[in-house]
């Protein structure tokens, strides 16, 4: 059973000929709107990857709340602890260039007012709690504490990396997932030298696996004394938005089903690759059968 404590957004997406520099305006055609938010994306991805999932977070009392939750509702994700608060639902403004690369500005809205105590009494040792970096860091830390107290496993994707001491978060984590730039930021604040392998060697601990996603290059990871590296299958990428969330959701679902760590990583890599082939952070989250089929081809 997976519980996600995190953000829920509506994404407004514009395809642009190139991503703007600071101070520049770049135009595209009509915008598209999609459900998004790293928390909601990971909840949907885990659900589509076969897990039973509960989402804990907040939306505003506005017109964006319903479309922001529509995919989760349709997928049967438990939304009983998604609160409706005064204020605006989280909003992401996303530009996508022809190679599928993106630039994202997030207006946090009610995501800035989620509270860890909404999780009280709902976590057990049968749970994996997934958290990201779009919720207030102090509430994320409290949520991790509640999870550890209940014997649940803590899965943290600090995207974006929170300001403040990452040590408190790391102490509680069983599975850490970062991309290369997030690893570099964490390494800087932990006083670790550059490099993915150095990061893995310095951050892995007994009871704490560490995963660095490498975009189209795949993934590198450490668990105990074991080291893993899997290349990503090549796909025609149209939109990389949500690829990391698809990776996290599928990896967490596989771990929740007690798959061996190497197989779980392959399923994550397969899900991340498939997510790049469709526009939209949630519309692109692949189904279990497609993940399994592609993961079987990753060696």
Nearer to ligand RIB, 15 or 41 (CB): 41
Q: Does 11 bind ligand RIB (CB under 6 A)?
A: yes
Nearer to ligand RIB, 37 or 169 (CB): 37
Which of these segments, 34-42, 191-199, 211-219, 255-263, binds ligand RIB (CB under 6 A)? 34-42
Site for ligand RIB, residues 130 to 169, rule: CB under 6 A: 134
- Peptide bond preceding 160 in cis form (omega within 30 of 0): yes
Which of these segments, 36-44, 165-173, 229-237, 268-276, binds ligand RIB (CB under 6 A)? 36-44
Site for ligand RIB, residues 210 to 269, rule: CB under 6 A: 241-242, 244-245
Q: Strands across the sheet with 175-179, in order?
A: 78-85, 53-60, 2-5, 128-131, 153-156, 175-179, 209-213, 219-223, 226-230
Q: Does 182 bind ligand RIB (CB under 6 A)?
A: no
Kindly name the residue from 11, 97, 239, 245 that is annotated as catalytic: 245
Q: Does 294 bind ligand RIB (CB under 6 A)?
A: no
From the CB of 91, what's the least distance to ligand RIB, in Å? 8
From the CB of 258, what's the least distance to ligand RIB, in Å? 27
Please indicate whether residue 258 is annotated as part of the active site: no
Name which position in 104, 150, 168, 278 contacts ligand RIB (CB under 6 A).
104
From the CB of 53, what's the least distance to ligand RIB, in Å? 17
Q: Does 42 bind ligand RIB (CB under 6 A)?
A: no
Name which position in 9, 122, 140, 232 contacts ligand RIB (CB under 6 A).
9
Name which position in 3, 4, 13, 41 contacts ligand RIB (CB under 6 A).
41
Name which position in 4, 5, 13, 37 contacts ligand RIB (CB under 6 A).
37
Q: Which residues are catalytic?
A: 245
Give me the residues that bind ligand RIB (CB under 6 A), please.
7, 9, 11, 36-38, 41, 92, 104, 106, 134, 241-242, 244-245, 281
């Amino acid at each position: 059973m997976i519980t996600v404590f995190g953000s829920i957004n509506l994404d407004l997406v514009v395809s642009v000929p190139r991503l703007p520099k600071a101070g520049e305006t770049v135009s595209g055609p009509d915008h598209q709107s999609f459900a998004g938010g790293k928390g909601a994306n990971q909840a949907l991805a885990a659900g589509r990857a076969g897990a039973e999932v509960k989402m804990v977070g907040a939306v505003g009392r506005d017109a964006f709340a319903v479309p922001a939750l529509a995919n989760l509702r349709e997928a049967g994700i438990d939304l009983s602890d998604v609160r409706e608060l005064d204020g605006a639902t989280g909003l992401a403004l996303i530009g996508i260039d022809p190679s599928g690369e993106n630039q994202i500005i997030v207006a946090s809205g009610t995501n800035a007012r989620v509270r860890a105590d909404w999780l009280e009494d709902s976590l057990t040792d049968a749970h994996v709690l997934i958290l990201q970096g779009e919720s207030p860091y102090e509430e994320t830390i409290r949520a991790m504490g509640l999870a550890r107290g209940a014997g649940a496993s803590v899965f943290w994707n600090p995207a974006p990396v929170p300001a403040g001491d990452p040590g408190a978060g790391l102490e509680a984590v069983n599975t850490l997932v970062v991309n290369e730039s997030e690893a570099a930021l964490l390494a800087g604040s932990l006083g670790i030298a550059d490099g993915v392998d150095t990061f893995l060697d310095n951050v892995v601990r007994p009871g704490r696996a560490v995963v660095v996603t490498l975009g189209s290059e795949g993934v590198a990871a450490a668990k105990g004394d074991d080291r893993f590296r899997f290349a990503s299958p090549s796909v025609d990428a149209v939109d990389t938005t949500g690829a990391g969330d698809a990776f996290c959701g599928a990896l967490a679902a596989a771990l929740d089903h007690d798959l061996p760590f190497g197989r779980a990583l392959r399923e994550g890599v397969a899900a991340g690759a498939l997510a790049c082939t469709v526009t939209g952070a949630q519309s692109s989250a692949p189904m279990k059968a497609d993940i399994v089929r592609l993961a079987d081809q990753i060696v």
